[in-house]
Amino acid sequence: MSPRVVVIGSGVVGAAVADELTERGWTDVTVLDRGALFLPGGSSSHAPGLVFQASPSRTMARFAQYTVEKLSSLDLDGRWCFNQVGGLEVATEPARVDELWRRHGFLSSVGVASAVVGPDECAALHPLVPAGNVLAGLHIPTDGLAKAPRAVEAQARRAIARGARFLGEQRVVEILRDRGRVTGVRTETTGGPGQDTFPADVVVQCTGFWGPLTGALVDLPTPLLPMAHQYARTAPVPGLRDLGAREATAPILRHQDRDLYFREHGERLGIGSYAHRPIPIDPANLPTHTEMPSSFDFTPEDWAPAYADAQALLPALQGVEVEHGFNGVFSFTADGMPLLGEHPDLQGYWVAEAVWVTHSCGVARALAEWLVDGHPSLDVHACDLNRFTEAQRSPAHVAQRAARNFVEVYDIVHPLDPPAGPRPMRTSPFHLRQQELGAVFTEIGGWERPLWFESNAGLPDVARIPTREGWAARNWSPIAGAEALATRDRVGLYDMTPLTRVEVSGPGACAFLDGLTTNKVDVAVGRVVYTLMLTATGGVLSDLTVTRLDEELFQVGANGEVDVDRLRRLAPPGVSVRDVTAGTCGVGLWGPRALDVLSSVSSDDLSFGYFRAKKIHIGAVPVLALRVSYVGELGWELYTTADQGLALWDALWAAGAGHGMVAAGRHAFTSLRLEKGYRASGVDMTSEDLPAEAGLAFAVKPGEYPGAATVSAERTAGPRRRLVPVLMDDPADVVTGAEPVYSGDTPVGYVTSAAYGPTIDAGIAYAWLPAELATPGTAVAVEYFGARLPGVVAAEPLFDPEGKRLRP
Ligand code: FAD
Ligand code: THG
């Protein structure tokens, strides 16, 4: 039987959710909106509807691809929902030309056709762009314009035909619940005295920038910031003509160097600007009863410089007045990604917020699959509502980062560029020492993380590391290569504090972990097990190390907040799941001299074997030592409580001095792990990938856990695609991730992680390839800023295949 679903909000997201749910047979769906249907007054009611598929995220690009596909197939009484005029991004600065090539590569890797074109072609594609004003353009023929209000109504009608109800002027004022489950919602008739209740098993919050207010009804911080953004329409422009109902034929145009975008409205031009100051809107002060609460008065002083820039690009605008402008409100998040998922403490309460029109259909499909099938078919971990730490959810953090995202919405942002404040948010106890050693930090997942240490600049090996230029050289130094070599030759000290550590304990803890993950964790006390969490259909959600500290006491090494959330959600009564990351800290001490260093500060017996754990002392500091190494060298992860972190670091540092020990950063770590073929969850493999495809079959044992049936079927069928290392022919060729891989002239796959491997002196690019092209020796090319860099599929691991370093 279909569960009773209430969707709050009838914008593009709510309507698409209703459509996708009813399509999957969940037909008891009621969509409630505080506004009048089908123009209830949210962001969707007046979005200009540019739909663009380029994005920094694979998942987001594919959400957009699906929006294009779906809206193209819809109409409202014969009127279009999607007008596939194509997209054109122009470059007016040399750095942007490179960026267009990079975006072109990314689009190829997700299967969206695009072309970098010259100034003349830009002028041919767009009637207002003079060739002399641009250096290049990126043309994406399948981008276009969505008519959001029509898309809402067309999807709503389809859902209604399958049994859904849409009710306007029903403001949800209370969420009804019983023992941790939602049971319904209570509404007030907008502007009137009426009240109603709607029983529900599932409630989906699709309230756009009202999210923080709606979330507050269920004590759910909905970490988004509503901000106003200027959009204006000009008077008729010479060179444009009335196109009737078609509205536009020229591609949507984006001038990212000046934070502007353009679309035709027949003979008028619509212009959107992100060039102004961030204008945050306090959702508590939103007008409740006006027709268009998402539309604020136009502020001409914010507009003037943007319009001058628009006129500079498009001279036809000179002398043309702006006829109508407004400051429209929509949602921004701390990391630019949407918020999807279930309330951590209230079962049946789901959220789909901070979603652009562009991604709306893809997001709605993912949410519907999540509800109906248990997991979306695309990887959504970067969109997970529960991905943030408490500090990241704080209003101050959301406000500052979201405002920054507004400013940077079109900037060329390198994945390792450190964000502006608030910083630092989370530091390990070693932070002070790392600063003294000249650490160059970025922030990952809220943590300050050293990329490399300037104090290592004098290492002789620095000169051996191939130099780089451009993108690959940003936030990188050859010092990192020398740190990696020092680890292989001598010993390196790595900060492991940001690794998520979870204590799972209580009667049933062992059975819980055993029934949740793919490996056998019912092992002797003191053993460490590498194991996977899968979706019901076998996709890799995460890889974990599980250390058995006692009969019913485990320390789990995990990959972030989403894992903690899953463990908490699924733990049976009596089993406690405690995130101990913040109160503890740790280092990795790895390399051939690690034993010399450790034995000089510890009198414990250190002969315990690989993937074993033991409680030892380092000086006076009690430490949990795990003989585990993500870099593939002899050594230990050494954990203690945060208060003793400095003592731990200082003791090891003093002991390491005589052994050539270096502090080593993130880049060295990545180089070494790729030489060993150790995967990073969420990057190399995601919930879209099966364990054997990802090269992780060794961690899968027969048993009863989510995904077991699929993985045993996979074993018989054999993988269709594989994650394999590609070695670049030229050691100086180093790519950075997300590039397309070609066989001849056909794009056949994409890069996940990449780094220079200093031990093997080669650029390494891990890539997903079809099984038939994944055999060692196969020649391929990685496209990098338009150049095809030759490489060859290699056998793994690339370094120390017998593991002699780990078990000397
Ligand atoms: P909304 O459309 O805001 O819908 C939320 C609904 O929830 C509203 O109808 C509201 O009435 C209802 N609601 C709220 N609280 C309650 C309650 N308590 N009870 C009942 N109902 C409630 N995106 C693009 O992809 N491309 C663009 O070019 C683009 N340009 C934009 C330009 C402007 C000026 C603006 C403002 C936005 C733009 N966007 C664009 C963003 C896009 O419009 C939004 O991200 C998107 O429309 C959000 O859809 P939604 O369904 O989440 O929210
Ligand atoms: N340390 C600890 N926990 C972790 C990580 C870690 N949990 C999350 C993430 N990192 C897990 N990833 C890995 C990846 C590879 C290995 C360990 C953790 C590893 N693999 C060996 C191999 O593939 O040959 C051994 C596997 C085995 O013997 O089962 O070491 O860094 N604590």
Question: For the segment 457-468, what is each residue's pLDDT rounded down to a tens digit?
Answer: 999 999 999 999
CA 602 to mean position of chain CA atoms: 41
- 11 ligand 1 Cβ < 6 A: yes
Lowest mean pLDDT among 6-20, 188-202, 384-398: 188-202
Q: What stretch of H or E contains 546? A: strand 540-550
- 530 ligand 2 Cβ < 6 A: yes
Structure tokens at 633: 């060298």
Mean pLDDT of all residues in 622-646: 98
Kindly report the protein residue whose alpha carbon is nearest to atom 16 of ligand 2.
630
- Ligand 1 nearest-atom number relative to CA 15: 51
pLDDT category at 228 given cuts 50, 70, 90 is: very high
Per DSSP, 467 falls in state P
- 752 ligand 2 Cβ < 6 A: no
Kindly report the protein residue whose alpha carbon is nearest to atom 32 of ligand 2.
557
Residue 719 has a pLDDT of: 87
Structure tokens at 177: 């619940």
Triad 661, 664, 666: Cα angle to 5°: 165
Question: For the segment 763-781, what is each residue's pLDDT rounded down to a tens digit?
Answer: 999 999 999 999 999 999 9
Query: Does the bond joining 460 to the residue before it have cis omega, within 30 degrees of 0?
Result: no
Q: Is 563 helix (H, G, I), strand (E, B) or coil?
A: helix
Give CA–CA dist 47/712, Å, rounded: 47
Site to probe by mutation for ligand 1, drawn from 44, 63, 295 as the one with most ligand atoms within 8 Å of Cβ, is 44
- Strands, DSSP E only, in 560-714? 576-579, 584-590, 613-618, 621-626, 635-641, 661-663
Residue 289 has a pLDDT of: 57
- 270 ligand 1 Cβ < 6 A: no
How buried is 244 (Cβ within 10 angstroms: 0-12 exposed, 13-18 middle, 19+ buried)?
A: exposed
Question: For the segment 337-396, what is each residue's pLDDT rounded down to a tens digit?
Answer: 999 999 999 999 999 999 999 999 999 999 999 999 999 999 999 999 999 998 899 889
- Ligand 1 nearest-atom number relative to CA 230: 34
Lowest mean pLDDT among 192-201, 506-515, 766-775: 192-201
pLDDT category at 291 given cuts 50, 70, 90 is: low
Kindly report the protein residue whose alpha carbon is nearest to atom 1 of ligand 2.
557
**Of 188, 186, 183, the residue nearest 200 (C-alpha):** 183
Query: Does the bond joining 262 to the residue before it have cis omega, within 30 degrees of 0?
Result: no
Residue 190 has a pLDDT of: 76
- Ligand 2 nearest-atom number relative to CA 679: 14
The answer to whether the beta carbons of residues 546 and 626 sit under 8 Å apart is no
CA of 581 from ligand 2 middle (Å) equals 17
Q: What percent of the chain has pLDDT over 90?
A: 93
Kindly report the protein residue whose alpha carbon is nearest to atom 27 of ligand 2.
530
Is the four-CA dihedral 405, 411, 416, 417 of positive or negative sign?
Answer: negative
Q: What stretch of H or E contains 68? A: helix 58-72
Q: Is residue 191's pLDDT more than 80?
A: no
**Of 37, 50, 48, the residue nearest 11 (C-alpha):** 37
pTM over 0.75: yes
Residue 288 has a pLDDT of: 64
- 640 ligand 1 Cβ < 6 A: no
Q: Is residue 712's pLDDT more than 90?
A: no
- 170 ligand 2 Cβ < 6 A: no
CA of 530 from ligand 2 middle (Å) equals 6
Structure tokens at 171: 């403001």
How buried is 414 (Cβ within 10 angstroms: 0-12 exposed, 13-18 middle, 19+ buried)?
A: middle
Question: For the segment 777-791, what is each residue's pLDDT rounded down to a tens digit?
Answer: 999 999 999 999 999
Structure tokens at 597: 């260093």
Q: Is residue 554's pLDDT more than 90?
A: yes
Taking phi first (over 0 means left), then psi (-120 to 50 degrees means alpha), and beta for anything else, what does residue 447 get?
Answer: beta
Query: In sequence order, what are the residues at sequence separation of 6 or more whose Cβ sits closer than 8 angstroms to the Cβ of residue 134?
Result: 90, 91, 92, 119, 122, 313
Measured from the Cβ of residue 724, the count of other Cβ atoms closer than 10 Å reads 24
Whose atoms come closest to the Cα of 252: which ligand? 1
Per-residue CA distances from 583 to 134, 609, 724 (Å): 54, 27, 37
Whose atoms come closest to the Cα of 632: which ligand? 2
Query: In sequence order, what are the residues at sequence separation of 6 or more whose Cβ sits closer than 8 angstroms to the Cβ of residue 252?
Result: 50, 51, 52, 85, 86, 87, 88, 143, 144, 145, 261, 262, 263
Triad 512, 513, 515: Cα angle to 5°: 65
**Residues taking part in catalysis:** 229, 261, 543
Whose atoms come closest to the Cα of 45: which ligand? 1
pLDDT category at 438 given cuts 50, 70, 90 is: very high
- 48 ligand 1 Cβ < 6 A: yes
- 682 ligand 1 Cβ < 6 A: no
Question: For the segment 198-214, what is each residue's pLDDT rounded down to a tens digit?
Answer: 999 999 999 999 999 99
Give CA–CA dist 417/415, Å, rounded: 6
Give CA–CA dist 773/787, Å, rounded: 21
Per DSSP, 361 falls in state H
Q: Report H helices in 704-799.
A: 708-717
CA of 667 from ligand 2 middle (Å) equals 18
CA of 629 from ligand 2 middle (Å) equals 7
CA of 330 from ligand 1 middle (Å) equals 6
**Of 683, 682, 706, the residue nearest 374 (C-alpha):** 706
Kindly report the protein residue whose alpha carbon is nearest to atom 22 of ligand 2.
678
Give CA–CA dist 178/35, Å, rounded: 28
DSSP 171-194: EEEEEEEETTEEEEEEEEETTSS-
Residue 290 has a pLDDT of: 62
Lowest mean pLDDT among 276-290, 434-448, 553-567: 276-290
Query: Does the bond joining 422 to the residue before it have cis omega, within 30 degrees of 0?
Result: yes
- 40 ligand 1 Cβ < 6 A: yes
Give CA–CA dist 173/386, Å, rounded: 24
Q: Is residue 298's pLDDT more than 80?
A: yes
CA of 610 from ligand 2 middle (Å) equals 12
Question: For the segment 42-89, what is each residue's pLDDT rounded down to a tens digit?
Answer: 999 988 999 999 999 999 999 999 999 999 999 999 999 999 999 999
Residue 295 has a pLDDT of: 86
Question: For the segment 92-132, what is each residue's pLDDT rounded down to a tens digit?
Answer: 999 999 999 999 999 999 999 999 999 999 999 999 999 99
Residue 1 has a pLDDT of: 73
- 517 ligand 2 Cβ < 6 A: no
Spell 584-607 as b/e; 16+ CB within 10 A means b: bbbbbbbbbbbbbbbebbbeeeee
Q: What percent of the chain has pLDDT over 70?
A: 99
Residue 201 has a pLDDT of: 98
Q: Calculate the average pLDDT of the chain.
A: 96
- 364 ligand 1 Cβ < 6 A: no
Question: For the segment 153-181, what is each residue's pLDDT rounded down to a tens digit?
Answer: 999 999 999 999 999 999 999 999 999 99
End-to-end CA distance of the chain: 59
- 532 ligand 2 Cβ < 6 A: no
Residue 311 has a pLDDT of: 98
Give CA–CA dist 137/762, Å, rounded: 33
Residue 274 has a pLDDT of: 96
- Ligand 1 nearest-atom number relative to CA 173: 18
Residue 194 has a pLDDT of: 81
Query: In sequence order, what are the residues at sequence separation of 6 or more whose Cβ sits closer than 8 angstroms to the Cβ of residue 696?
Result: 532, 540, 543, 679, 685
Site to probe by mutation for ligand 1, drawn from 198, 330, 333, 351 as the one with most ligand atoms within 8 Å of Cβ, is 330
